[in-house]
Structures are given as structure tokens and as C-alpha cells.
Structure 1
Amino acid sequence: MFTLVIALGSFVFYLIAYNTYGKWLANKIFKLDPEAKVPSVEFEDGSDYVPTSKGVVFGHHFTSIAGTGPIVGPSLAVMWGWLPALIWVLVGSVFIGAVHDFGALIVSMRNRGQTVGDIAGRVISPRVRVLFLLILFLALTIVLAIFGLVIALVFRAYPQSITPCLLQIPLAVIIGLFIHRKGGNMMLASVGALVLMYLSVIFGDVGWLGGLNESLKSWGLMTWVTVLLVYSYIASVLPVWTLLQPRDYINALQLLSALGLVVLGLIVAGLWGGAPVEGIRPNLEIAAPALESSFEAKQLPMIFPFLFITIACGAISGFHCLVSSGTSSKQLRCETDARFVGYGSMLTEGFLAVLVILACVAGLGLGIQSSDGSVLLGADAWDARYAGWNAMGLGAKVGAFVDGSANFLKAMGVPGQYATALMGVFVASFAATTLDSACRLQRYVVQELAGGLMRKEVDAGAPQPIALNANPLSWLANKHGASIFAIAVAWGMASLPAAAGKPAGTGGMILWPLFGATNQLLGGLAFLVVIFWMKRNRLPVWFVVLPAVPMLVLPAWAMAHQIFVSALGSTESWIAQERWLLVGIGSVSLLLELWMVVEAVAA
């Protein structure tokens, strides 16, 4: 029953926050104007700038920012205890993460839909623009490399999720054409898409779909990564209404309905117990400690700063500023829609993170199969899955949520195979929408960097201006060239072997420790840009300064520890461990952050 109280209490807390703090920010601080001219209308081009209803933009925004971050992070962070993880998610999402996302969205909308990196060059200094864009490039490269591997690992662990995820692509294109070209009814498209998506989960292993699934599940890790990155390239160069918007929208429908089912299952399990085990319904109880005491036995790193970068999306995520300023700001057709999309999406993600925590610390206790085939319940199930920090590989982190949340669905009588398939599709779909959005955002970053270098050459040249199409960098200023460059670099990083004799792709996980630190560091730097813009527009900044300080300090601390203690301080050679990529990217990121902060202080 206590688990149910936490879930319902969190939902009410977020509802109150949206209608108080979020409303205060919208009306009193940013003063949103329903009559203001927005970038999607002013610069409408039918490709990137497309006026869109707030429901569709919310779908794109929420599914793009969520990804597997709020699943993997909380699934691992509960090892320090469920209480600190829960507090960080609740407080962080309301007062830090949602403020960050909302602020970046507003700043971009009031600057012609430009990215945070471009705006940084004007409000701080021109050098900061380049520094910020370089940090964005590193962060997005890690996202592209890691999320391609994440989806491949999910497909391997839950092959029944493959065909439903693939069927989303043609379905999205059909819906995009139906709505954009034919002016079709949104409600009809929504219901139809949702029905087809759930049918694909149920019948994904039947008939010719089952045969297709059987063939695809034998694909290797790098085969999937290659296919997914090629898909990301296609999605990044097509007009947003063709694939990105409708795919994210139907994903949002599916994912929000799946969240609703998880909540309903949690209520059933809380009131009547889980699915019967040997004829008895087990009680829904928290099986994990509120605060872990055996740090050494479980090989846990320091709770400060690592808890705050492990949960990298459920509380705050720097990646969100890229979605806010890279795509969503170019699609909102009314300024007042920004609170629903910017602030509301982050609170929804925070609630998802709460459900992940509860699935891992209570849902697992409703029953998991042990290696000998017996069913483990309660604390035995928790101890078996959470034996130690180093024992929790990426697959195990995702699996803890999938199995725990599937137990909630089973409590309602959903057959086990469908419950697990639905949660597998849930995870893979989140990761896929982040992947294609990240590729489009990386395309913008590469184009801006290349365009800046080309303009610099023109400005410094002879009296006769240099033709941009004669510049050796001109292919990177093209959307196709920029996208191909982005996926090629990500593929190269993802394909690294972990060590001699290991298959390609296994070494890409070396980058995973950097994901959280780079992500949160990006959030702190985005706060800097928002602060400078607000100061220049004579707006109060205290509510942005307070979260900005810890988000600049904690990620830098964690990244320095990973580089100088975990990698360089290891008794085993960091080159032999193939951690040179971690050391290299981490060191460059720290130097760029320090340089950017120095520039900000000088300004």
C-alpha cells in the first residue's frame, strides 16, 4: 500500500507544481503572450519551421527527451537506496529540470528558433558560441553512439519488441501524409494508430510477422547499430511532418497509454497483490532498503556526485535544451503552448522516473525467475537482481524495469509474454525517438559549426568574396553532408571493440559513464545561456542561478573522478582497458566547460 501512496502522492505533487510554480514562471517571469509572433509562423518553410498543435509537439518533445535515460538511470540509482533517488527525481524535475527545459524553449522561441549554442554567441561572447557547439557535438555523438547500442541490446534481450518498433515507421509516414496533406482528423488518426500499435505487440510473433521477427533477432549488434543510424540519417533530412512528428506523436500515445496501464497495474497490485504465485497473490511491498548501508559490499561509488549524474534524465538533462531549442521551438504555433510542452513534458518524465523506481524496488518483488527456474519474491528477488554495482550491466538495468513493470501488468491479468513484450517495445521506442531527434539536432550543430568556419574564411579573405560552394567545408553545411558526418562519427565510436578478441560494439559501452556527466554538464552550461539572456532582458534570474551552480559543479566533479581516479588512477593501463576514448572526450569536455565559464565570468 505504501508503494501506491508514493505513486499517487508523486502524481499530485507534479500536478500542483505545474499549476503553481510552472504557472508563475509562464505568467509572471516569461510573460507568455498568445498574440506573439512565433518562429514557426514567421519562418515557416514546410521542413523545419512548421506551425503545429501543442498536442503533437508535446508528443515529439516528450518522446525525444525521455529516451532510456529516465529508465536506465533510476534503475541503477536505487542501489544507493530508493529514498535519495526518489527525492532527487521529485525535487530535481520540478525546480531544476523543468525550469531548464522551459527556459531553453522560451529563449529559443524569442530568438527566431535558434539553438542555445547560437544564442550563447550573442549573449555571452562569439567564442562561447563555438565552445558551446563543440560541447553539443561531443554530447550528441555520445547519445547517437550509445542509444544505437541500447536499442540493439533491447532487441537482443526482448526480440518480441522488434517488429512492433519497425512497424511504427511506415505507420508514422502514412499518418503524416494523412494529416498534413489530406487534412485528416487527428482523433481518428490517433485512435487508429494506437489500436494498430497494440495489435502489433500482440501479433508480432504470429504468421509472417513472426517469421520476420525470427530472421531479424539473429542480427548482430553492429548490424542493428548500422541500420538504426542509417534510419536516423533518413529521419533527420526529411521534413518534420513526414516522419519525425507523426512517429513521435504515435509513440507518445503508445507510451503514455502504457504508462497509464503501469499505473493501473500498480493500483491493482497495491490493493489486491500481484499475479498469483502457486495460487497466492504476493503483497506489493518495497523490497529494497530506503538507504543502502553496505556501500563497500556492493561496490557503490560515492553518492555525491554520482547519484546526481546517474539519474541523468529523470531530474534534469542537458540534452533537453537541444530538443527545446533545436526542434520544438520551431514547431509551436503559439507562445502560451510553451508551458505545456516545456514544463509539462519534464514533469511527465519525472513521473516516469518515479514509476521506474517503484517498478525496480517493489515490482521486482512480485516475482522473477531465478537461474534454476524457481520464482523469487520480495527481498530475494531484489538481492538476486541487484547483487552489486559492477554486476549491473546495461541489459540488467533495462531488464530490472521491464520485469518489474511487467509484473504490474500481470497483476491485472495480462499474460506474461504480452506484458514483457509491451514493456520491451516501451523501452526500445523511447530510445528510437531520442536517436532520430538527436541525429537531426547533430545535423544542426555540424551545419552551424561549418557555416561559422566558412563565414570566418569569407570575412578574412581578399576583397573578392569566396564562393561558399567552393569551400572544402561546404559539404558539411549541407543537411545531407552534415547528417552523414554525424552518423559516421557515432558509428565509429559505437563500433569499437572493448578489448582484443571481443566483438565490435562491446567497447561502445565505455562511453556510458560519460553520458550522465556530459548530459548534466550541458544542462549547467545551458543554464548559463538562459541567465545571460534573462539579465540582458532585465528579468529576475535567482530561480535559474540556484540550480545552475550545482549543475556546473557536480558533473565536473564526477567527470574528473572518472578520468583521474577510475581511468588514469587504475592499476591497469587505461590504454589496455581501451578507456582512451573516455579519457579523451572527458578531458576535452572539462576543458571546454572551464573555458566557457571563464568567458562567462569575463562577460
Structure 2
Amino acid sequence: MQSITIVLLGIVGMLLGWLFYSRFIATRIFQLDNRFVTPAHELRDGKDFVPTNKVVLWGHHFTSVAGAAPIVGPAIAVYWGWVPAVLWVVFGTIFFAGVHDMGALWASARHKGKSMGALSENVVGKRTRSLFMIVVFLVLLMVNAVFGVVIANSFVAQPNAVFPAWTAIAVALVIGQFLKRQFPLVPLCIIGIAILYASVYAGSYIPLSLPESMFGLSDKANWIIILFVYAAIASLLPVWMLLQPRDFINGMQLLVGLLLLYGAVFLAMPDITAPAFNTSLAESTPSIIPLLFVTIACGAVSGFHGIVASGTSSKQLDKEPDARFVGYLGAIGEGSLALITIVAVSGVALAASPQEWHEIYSHLGAGSVNAFITGGANLIQQGWGLPVDFSSTILAVMVVLFAGTTMDSGVRLQRYIIQEWGDIYQLDFMKNGSFATLLAVGCCLLLAFGAGGSDGSGGMIIWPLFGSTNQILASLTLLVISVMLIKLHRPAIYTLVPMMFVLVMAFLAGLIKLKEYYLAGNYLLVVLDAVVLIVSVLVMLEAGAVISKFRLAKTSGHTSQL
């Protein structure tokens, strides 16, 4: 089969979802109201609460939620076959991710920009808030640790990406100042993209790397520390100064990257060499069900999106109807990246024959980011004629910048949660932004180095646990949204069905991983996995009790008491 068929079916499906399903959910279910005063206006402080153009906010939200996960997950999951991966990405984006992301924005905006964990107290109950925030903090901890290691690995493997990655930060700081002074957005965007790609070209000739050993640590370990120092500083800056412009520029850079990749498919029309359903799996390969649905999280549905939507994006929402553009369209953007990743690692651009593909994908976990960069670069060369080395640098920078923006937002969101705990428990020292940031970064470094040793490989060791924990969080977010809808006497089936499906798959995957970690003697991950599973059960029980109480009160005519 030609890859163009996959691309056309996937894109048409997502486009129909945007035109029809998202409009139905926005107008009939969430009932987004243009007259509603969003937290960005009501609580405007010029730092975190800032009314933002929906296109700029889409850029922030999209690049913050995308990270490297919609590349890593699909590039791994294609091992089971490209058909199940494509189906989960397309249908997951339309019916799961778009509703989840838009719903999280709506729910948070209706509760003064509170995070999903904090607003769960208003929707479900006090105990739920405490339990929910534990899961949220653990997910952020895993995300930041994982992406810190991903970027460090990329810097070591692709030193050509170092110069453009840090240049992008400098460009964003300058553009942020111009945007603050109301300069036109379009020319700034064009100039920013031009400088970014000029730095990519320069980076091909200016490889930068750290010494293999410095301060008793490897080059990868030192990159991890540098990255978290940067993330700590970035998380304390006002959103307009770095977060918004950097995310917007990265969003535009992704659009260019997607144009190159999708355009190459239409120009070269490469064949697919990967099996539709892989029947030659390695003996130790786990079952596709439930593992497929946690391996591909970002790109289908992801609990991390709810953290970003309710943590930073809702605080910048100019008008409530913008939630559809930012949330649902952001999910489609990520689904598009996941779809083209599947094509890049499944076709002749990566492997000229089925036999060669099986040699590259010898087991689950093979391929991943390197397969995407190699396959994507060859695909661009076949379609556009660009040199493979230059194309590889473009894609490596894209991966690094996405993971970097996720780290920026992730550390900031960890700070928010720690400060919220300070408010809840009246601990003034935890309300301090600098202290909260240092605590957040310290926890991330402790996990990265504590779980994996002095080279910081712990971030990748926890990747399987991140998948199941992340999807459990997605189901809990959908649960909170569902309870809100039930209390508002609106249909909740459009969120309850995705919630139940994701919860069952993620819970089963968590149980499977719990057994694996125990048999391997990795008791740190056993404890983390067990905590997440227990907390998720308790939250579901709390929500079930609230729904039952509400329905009982509704039948007796006393809903006002709730």
C-alpha cells in the first residue's frame, strides 16, 4: 500500500472531526459562551493570567502538549503493525483527545483557571483534590524526567542540533519583547522562522558538544543538569517573555516540518514496507491490548494535555469559544504529527523491504526517535531533494524544541501544584515561587539520576510507567468533566465513554507493569505504580458517590443542595 492512502484517510477523518464533531461538542455539550469573562481577564496579572491571541495560545498549547511523545509512542507502537497504530491515532484524536483537551480548558476556565487537581474539589470533593493532585504531580515528574533525558540524548547523538536549539530561545526572548509592544504578529512570525531555519543550516556546520566527562559526570548527565537549570529559570519568567513566543515559534516550525513531511509523501508517494499486522513478534512482546493504548498516548489522548490546558492555557484564554480552536485543533495538530511519524517509520524511507524493516524493528522499543529522524530525513530527501544531513538536523531540532517546550511548561506546572499545596495546607514557604521551582527541579533530577544511576538514564526507565499513569490521568480528567456535565444537566456520554475505555486499558496496563517491575526487583517503580493505581480507584469511588448523591437529590427535587 502507498503511504499517501494512509495520509489522505487520516487527514480527511480529522478534518471532518474538526468541522462537525468539535462544533457539536463546543456548542451543544460545553456550550462555550462568548460573553463569559475568562480568568485571563478577571485575574489578569501580566505574568500568568494574560489574555492571548488564540493563534499564539494555540502555538503555546500545541507545542507544550506535543513534546516528543507523539513521535516516541507511535514510532514504538508500529511494531505491532501500522493498522492498529493508525486507527488509534485517528479515532483517538477525533473522539478522545479533542474532547478531553477542549473540556479541560472549559472546566478550568469556569473555575478561575484552577488546575484539574484543584478544581476537582469544587466538582467532586476535598479528598478527591488531594488524591488527584498526587497523580498530576507524579505525571509531571515523569514527563520532565523523561524529556530531560530525551533532549540530552539528542544533543549527544546530534550535536548539530545544539546551536539552533539554544538560538531558538534567544529569538523567542526578542520576539516576546516585540509582541509585548503590540508589533504585528505575521512579520514577527516570518522573521522568527527565517532566523530559526538559518540557525538550523548553520548548525549543520557548527556541531557543539560537551566533553565526554566533566565534573565526574558524563556529557549526557551534564546536559540534563544544564537543561533543568534552564527550565527552572524559564518557569519563573512571565509567560509573555519566553513561554508564549517560544511556543508560538515552535508551533510555526512544526507546521513547516509537517508541510515538508506531508508534502514529501505526496511528491514521492512511497510504499509501506512495515506489516499491517505484525505476526512475527519477538517472544517476549506483550499483548497489543492493552499496551497499544498506553504506548501511544500523545497523538491519541493524553492526561498531560489536561494538566497543560488547566495549568497554563486556561489562564491565557481570551474568549471561552477559543477553547475549541486551542484545545481541539491542538489535538488534531498532535494527531497529525503522530500520523506522519507512523508513515515515516513504516515505509521505504526507513526500510527498503519488509525484511529490512523487521531487522530494524527486531523487538518492541526498537526504532523510536532515531527511526523517525532517519525515515523522515530520507522521506524529505526523496520528495523535496534536500540533503539528508540537513533534513536530519531539521527533524532533530524539531524533537528537541518540542521536548524543551514541554519541560518549560512542565516545571512551571509543577511549581503551580506545589504553590497550591502551600495554599491548601497554609505553608507559606511552599507558596514562594523560587522555592517551589527548586523543589520541582530537585524532584525531577532525583528521579532521573536516582532511578537510572549517574548517567541520568532513569528518565527512560520510567517511560512504560509514564504511559499507564498518563492515561489514568486522562480518564480522571474526563471523569471530572463528566461530573460537571451531569451537575449541569447536560449529556455526559461523550466524555464518559472515552473515560471508561481509557481507564480500563490504562489500569490493565498498570497491573501488567506492576508485575514486571516486581519480578525485576525495581521496587521504586513498584511503589510509584501502586500509588497511582490505588489513587485512581479512590478517585473513581469518590466521583461515583457524588454522581449517585446528585441523582438521588435530583429525583427528590433538592439539587440546589449540591
Bucket of the pairwise TM-score, normalised by the shorter protein: over 0.9
Contact 1:261 1:409 in 2 (8 A): yes
Q: Deviations over 1:153-206 (max 9, x none)?
A: 1112211111101111111110000110x2212111100000001000101143
Indicate yes or no: 2:304 matched with 1:305: no
Match of 1:408 in 2: 379
What's the Cα RMSD here?
A: 1.5
1:405-484 to 2 correspondences below 5 Å: 405-411=376-382, 412-454=384-426, 473-484=427-438
Can you list the C-alpha shifts for 1:340-390, whole angstroms capped at 9, x where unaligned?
10111101111111100000001xx235xxxxxxxx622243122101126
Per-residue deviation, 1:256:
1.0
1:525 aligns to 2:476 (yes or no): yes
Give distance in 1, aligned partners of 2:202 and 2:155: 17
Report the CA distance between 1:42 and its aligned residue. 1.1
What's the CA shift for 1:563? 1.0
Cα offset, 1:5, TM superposition: 1.7
Q: CA deviation at 1:217?
A: 8.3
Offset of 1:214 from its aligned partner? 4.5
State the partner residue of 1:370. none
Taking structure 2 as the reference length, what is the TM-score of the superposition?
0.94
Q: Distance in 1 between matches of 2:250 and 2:363?
A: 34
What is the correspondence of 1:336-347 to structure 2 with a 5 Å cutoff?
336-347=321-332
Residue in 2 that maps onto 1:562 = 513
Corresponding letter in the other structure for 2:402: F
Show the counterpart of 2:73.
Answer: 73
Count of equivalent residues = 541
1:485 & 1:28 partners in 2: Cα distance? 42
User: Shift of the alpha carbon at 1:497?
Assistant: 6.0
- The whole-number CA distance in structure 1 between the counterparts of 2:451 and 2:463 is 14
Q: Distance in 1 between matches of 2:66 and 2:203?
A: 25
The 2-side partners of 1:537 and 1:435 are apart by: 36
**Matching residue of 2:246:** 247
- State how far apart, in whole Å, the 2-side matches of 1:255 and 1:598 are: 41
Q: Distance in 2 between matches of 1:139 and 1:550?
A: 20
Q: Which residue of 2 aligns with 1:354?
A: 339
Map 1:529-544; keep pairs closer than 5 Å.
529-544=480-495
Amino acid at match of 2:136: L
Preserved CA contact (<8 Å) 1:510 1:582: no
Q: Paired residue for 1:286, among 272, 295, 298?
A: 272
Matched to 1:89, the amino acid is V
Q: Which amino acid aligns with 1:230?
A: V
Contact 2:275 2:354 in 1 (8 A): no
What is the deviation of 1:506? 2.4
For 1:586, the equivalent position in structure 2 comes to 529
Tell me the residue number matched to 2:552.
Answer: none
Residue equivalent to 1:387:
362
Q: What whole-Å deviation, never above 9, does each CA across 1:488-531 have from its counterpart, x for those lacking one?
A: 00001101364xxx643123322111111011000001111101
Q: Which residue number in structure 1 is paired with residue 549 of structure 2?
A: none
Q: Which residue of 1 aligns with 2:187?
A: 188
Q: Give 1:419 deviation, angstroms.
A: 0.6
TM-score of the superposition, structure 1-length normalised? 0.87
Residues 262 and 37 of structure 1: CA distance in aligned 2, closer, same or farther (over 3 Å): same
Shift of 1:14: 1.0
1:602 alignment partner, one of 545, 556, 559: 545
Tell me, yes or no, if the aligned pair for 1:406 and 1:423 is still in contact at 8 Å. yes
Residues of 2 paired with 1:232 and 1:43: CA distance?
Answer: 25
Separation in 1, partners of 2:470, 2:451: 24
- Asked if 1 retains the 8 angstrom alpha-carbon contact of 2:171 and 2:192, the reply is yes
Q: Which amino acid counterpart does residue 561 of structure 1 have in structure 2?
A: I
Residue 302 of structure 1 aligns with an amino acid whose one-letter code is S
Native 8 Å contact 1:531 1:541 kept in 2: yes
Between the aligned residues of both structures, percent identity stands at: 39
Query: In 1, Cα distance between the equivalents of 2:158 and 2:132?
Result: 38
Whole-Å Cα distance in 2 between the matches of residues 429 and 379 of structure 1?
32
- Residues 89, 497 of structure 1: CA spacing in aligned structure 2 closer, same or farther, 3 A cutoff? closer
CA distance in 2, matches of 1:21, 1:329: 22
Equivalent-residue separation in structure 2 for 1:117 and 1:366 (angstroms) = 43
The alpha carbon displacement at 1:597 in A equals: 1.3
CA contact (8 A) 1:285 1:378 kept: no
Write the deviation string for residues 267-294 of structure 1: whole angstroms up to 9, x where unpaired: 1111xxxxxxxxxxxxx21111111112
Q: Provide the rounded CA distance (Å) in 1 between the counterparts of 2:55 and 2:239.
A: 15
Alpha-carbon shift at residue 296 of structure 1 (Å): 4.1
Structure 2 unaligned regions, length at least 5: 547-562
Whether the 8 Å CA contact 2:38–2:318 is kept in 1: the answer is yes
The letter for the 2-side match of 1:549 is: M
Q: 1:43 to 1:503 in 2, by over 3 A?
A: closer
